[in-house]
Structure 1
Amino acid sequence: MRRRDERGSAAIEAAIGVPAFALFVGLIIFGGRTAITHQALQSAAADGARSASLTRDAEAARAAARDAAVASIANQKIDCSGVEVTVNTTDFTKPPGVPGSIAVTVSCRLNLADLAVPGVPGARVLSETMTSPLDTWRER
């Protein structure tokens, strides 16, 4: 009985295993970056909505929301470009005594080009929306 020669089997296992492991790690990083960016955008939208809800008119609300959202994203140091802040101020036209809210949507392009994982795009646009109530009895 002759024993099989197993020389070179470790190299074959490494040639198959290392790329698969690298792909797995890349997908974990992709998921983590996406989740962290979603959370950061949600926080920025909440900050923007809260700041906008404290203002007296729609124009001031848009400016306050944009400033708060951009500052929040900058403070969290996420790799976002092309930050867009959209503010729905239609409830400012409601008369006092009628409940209303303000909605802020923050979106940005997340850079993923450094991952170099097959099937993962070089960038991805992410968006989050949050609302905050307007004071029902305040003059608008």
Structure 2
Amino acid sequence: MRSVADERGAASVELVVIVPALVLMLGLLIAGGRLWFARATVVEAAQSAARAASLERSAGSAHRAGVSAGARVLATDGLRCAGDSISVDTSAFGVPVGTPATVRAAVTCQVPFSDLAIPGMPGSVTVRSSGSAALDTYRARS
């Protein structure tokens, strides 16, 4: 039968082994949640940009409206991008009335992970999405 003195310090060793593993697991959960949130927000921003652009009457105003709507979604949802870009393809406004056409938008966001300080985690991950919306086939365009 072993005595209690033989197990002295065992709890300290267990704590030293388990705590870093738990901290790493918590960090990975936070990083995964941040990445999921970023992807959902970027998809929403791309769809909103395309929809806002499709409601305009001219290519110039469509581009401005799309970029503004995409930026508004990114800002409203609270996503912090280390670098972002919003592009709107308004070439569909050159298609003659009566011909189906689609406006496309693309949103890119660099999601930072540097503040999490997880070993092996990259400094940032780039998340991209695109969205499209149909122009009204019989509405005048310029």
Fold-level similarity (TM above 0.5): yes
> What TM-score do you get using the length of structure 1 for normalisation?
0.92
CA apart distance, 1:81: 3.1
Consecutive unaligned residues in structure 1, runs of 5 or more: none
CA apart distance, 1:82: 2.2
RMSD over equivalenced CA pairs, Å: 1.5
Letter of the 2:113 partner, please give it. Answer: L
Matched, 1:128 2:132: no
- Residue deviations 1:36-91, cap 9 Å, x none? 11111111111111110011222221111111111111111111132201112222
Q: Work out the CA distance in 1 between the residues paired with 2:117 and 2:82.
A: 19
- Residue deviations 1:6-46, cap 9 Å, x none? 11111111111111111100000000001111111111111
Instruction: Please show how residues 15-26 of structure 1 align to structure 2 within 5 Å.
Output: 15-26=16-27
Matched, 1:115 2:127: no
Poorly superposed stretches of 4+, deviation over 6 Å: none
Consecutive unaligned residues in structure 2, runs of 5 or more: none
Q: Work out the CA distance in 1 between the residues paired with 2:114 and 2:78.
A: 17
Q: Work out the CA distance in 2 between the residues paired with 1:17 and 1:3.
A: 25
Q: Which residue of 1 aligns with 2:76?
A: 75
Instruction: Please show how residues 79-90 of structure 1 align to structure 2 within 5 Å.
Output: 79-90=80-91
Q: Using a 3 Å threshold, how does the CA distance of structure 1 residues 2 and 127 change in structure 2: closer, same or farther?
A: closer
Q: Work out the CA distance in 1 between the residues paired with 2:108 and 2:96.
A: 31
Q: Work out the CA distance in 2 between the residues paired with 1:43 and 1:2.
A: 63
Q: Percent identity?
A: 38
Letter of the 2:134 partner, please give it. Answer: P
Total equivalences in the alignment: 140
> What TM-score do you get using the length of structure 2 for normalisation?
0.91
